[in-house]
Structure 1
Amino acid sequence: MGVNLKPIIVKNDIELEDLRDRDLAVDSSNILYQFLSTIRTSKGMPLTDKNGHVTSHLVGLLYRSTKLIYEYNIPLVFIFDGGAPTLKAEEMKKRAQRREEAKEEYERALERGDFDVARSKAMQAAGFSSSIFQDAKILLEYLGIPYVQAKGEAEAQGAYMASKGDVWGVNSRDYDCLLFGTPRLVRYLTISASRRPDLVVLEDFLDHNGITREQLVDMAILMGTDYNKGIYRVGPKTGLKWIRRHGRIENLPDDKKKKVTPHYEEIRRIFLEPKVVEDYSVEFKGLREEQVYSFLCDERGFPKNRVKTAVERMKQFYEREI
């Protein structure tokens, strides 16, 4: 879910053209979830092949990614989550419970023929299996699009790569990327004409609010993160006011400090000293055309003419890069 910084965020509305030639690290879980929750049948079911394998994420990955890479020349590097910190277990349990509740509501809506509600609940019930990530990696491999398997959180790995200058920024909807230190966060990287991307520049955001990144992390801990429950009724504006006034969690008055999670120092380290992979590649590897057709058309039942469109984009992209 990530930290809600929207009320105090400083963003720039940009065009896709503004991202031309800008390498971006993509938070794979974040993006694949969008595909899984939105690319569905009229009854809210995900797209599947004849054997029941979910293909919604492959549809989005194939068509949107190749279009962004070829038509807008935005090189994408996909980052996959590794092991989550122990403190995230409770949040993951809550998410699983919410998905299960949404699934039950979806089934009840289907029974009464309320397909609008069914579709909405199906989107909320969308989850991941290991095969979904594996299929995504296979497709990226055959298209030659680079990906990195993170040690920990994908946002942390992407932020590290951006801070090193190996990518220009991170594409995710989660503001957590800013806590992990990405210099630039691109939200809503979509080919839809109805939505323009948002660009958040970390330095501008921090300067505008008069805080450091370390203070941003402390503020997030007060509000609540994926690793802790926040203080009741402390949102971004209140959290910002407290941190501006007191500087850091240790300086809070006792009546406030006693409400802070006892794990705050460990959570700080998660954001400020995350586990990352240092040996990675952002280079495109070349198209494996036969394998793309075999995997998508023969194994997953994609129409060959639609796959051809994406393949031609990648062929022309590689020809242009030579």
Structure 2
Amino acid sequence: MGVAIRDILVDCREPVSWDDLSGIAAVDAHNALYQFLSIIRQPDGTPLMNGKGRVTSHLSGILFRTANFLEKGIRPVFVFDGKPPELKQETINERRKHRAMADEAWKMALQEGDLEEAYRQASASARIDAHILESSRELLDLLGIPWLEAPSEGEAQAAWMVRKGSAAYVVSQDYDSLLFGAPVLVRNLTVSGRRRVRGRMVTVNPERIVLSSLLNRLGLTREQLIEIGILAGTDFNPGVRGIGAKKALKIVQKGEFESVIAEKQPDFNPAQITDFFLNPPVTDDYTLEWSAPDIEGVVEMLCGRYDFSEERVRSALTRVSVKATQKTLDAWF
């Protein structure tokens, strides 16, 4: 879910061209994997799989999206979630329940022959397991792409890396990194292009949110943005019933956050959530190094073990190093 503040950010999102995105991008790895697993599916919602029934949608997403990044001068570093905070356990449990329900709804829709509903429910049932994580990290290693595991929330670590200058921006579909202090968030990089939304195909383009501009436009401090998130709902609390982002914005602008919390949720102390957003566990123990891909290693993994088309794999790997009008992959090293 992330933080439910989308409705107040409509005027804060600016379109951005791929030409303006060259540089190091801290990618929220779990968010990207969920996007790949949700979107890269058959028309009936079945994920891509190899002959042994192993899901490969995420590997397809990593290969082709990473090739696209590198071709456009973007050097990604994938930041994986570490141990989730106790504050998040209720959300994790709810998500598991929701995915299980979506999985059952998918099977029912298939039986009824409703492919549109089947695709929608199948997308909602996407889950990340040990196989998804292990194979993703193996492929990133073979592609020469750095990755790290955060002490806790990946978005917090990614935000920290941008704040300290290790990366230019965070890549995520969610807005949590803004509450964690990310100076720049770029959305739609992992889902740009033609995709299915609510049963129809649309074109999705990259968009950028600059935290300082957002705060200035709304007349807020970062702490107040966190208060809006707490009222509307975050991964660490369900929010206040009946209060969405727009209403929360008015409450905070009037200085009524504490009084509303005291009235609506007298047993709730938001201080620990505020502190987690302001001071999340992060690490400086990482090294960002990109290397040329192990082409034969990638081919062996994807084609030998996961039944990918060798022609498509080699073509994708060629794209990252051959383009006359741009830097080649070798120019980074």
Structure 2: distance between partners of 1:154 and 1:25: 10
User: Residue in 2 aligned with 1:110?
Assistant: 110
The 10-residue stretch of structure 1 (78-87 or 235-244) with the greater mean CA deviation from structure 2:
235-244
Change (3 A) 1:274 1:260: farther
The reply on whether 1:17 has 2:3 as its aligned counterpart is no
Structure 2: distance between partners of 1:287 and 1:112: 45
Structure 1: distance between partners of 2:300 and 2:260: 63
The reply on whether 1:55 has 2:66 as its aligned counterpart is no
Q: Offset of 1:235 from its aligned partner? A: 1.5
Q: Offset of 1:254 from its aligned partner? A: 7.6
The share of aligned pairs that are identical, in percent, is 38
Structure 2: distance between partners of 1:34 and 1:275: 25
Q: Offset of 1:51 from its aligned partner? A: 1.4
Q: Offset of 1:77 from its aligned partner? A: 0.8
Structure 2: distance between partners of 1:94 and 1:69: 36
The 10-residue stretch of structure 1 (240-249 or 54-63) with the greater mean CA deviation from structure 2:
240-249
The residue type paired with residue 16 of structure 1 is: W
Query: SS state of the match for residue 228, structure 1?
Result: coil
Pick aligned residue for 2:225 from 183, 202, 216: 216
TM-score after normalising by structure 2 = 0.91
Structure 2: distance between partners of 1:184 and 1:97: 33
User: Residue in 2 aligned with 1:101?
Assistant: 101
Query: Structure 1 stretches (4+) deviating beyond 6 angstroms?
Result: none
Change (3 A) 1:31 1:254: closer
Structure 2: distance between partners of 1:76 and 1:254: 40
Alignment of 1:1-322 (within 5 A): 1-9=1-9, 10-19=12-21, 21-70=22-71, 72-189=72-189, 190-192=191-193, 194-246=203-255, 249=258, 252=259, 256=263, 258-259=264-265, 262-316=268-322, 317-322=328-333
Unaligned stretches of 5+ residues in structure 1? none
Structure 2: distance between partners of 1:148 and 1:4: 27
Change (3 A) 1:122 1:52: same
Q: Alignment RMSD, CA only?
A: 1.7
1:64–1:191 Cα contact (<8 Å) kept: no
Residues 182-237 of structure 1: per-residue CA shift (max 9 Å, x gap):
00000111451622211000000011111111111122112221111211111122
Residues 230-258 of structure 1: per-residue CA shift (max 9 Å, x gap):
11111122212222222753xx26853x5
Q: Offset of 1:38 from its aligned partner? A: 1.2
The alignment of Structure 1 onto Structure 2 pairs a total of residues equal to 317
Structure 1: distance between partners of 2:19 and 2:111: 46
Change (3 A) 1:272 1:298: same
Q: Offset of 1:260 from its aligned partner? A: 5.8
Change (3 A) 1:65 1:260: farther
Q: Offset of 1:81 from its aligned partner? A: 0.6
Unaligned stretches of 5+ residues in structure 2? 195-202, 323-327
Q: Offset of 1:313 from its aligned partner? A: 2.7
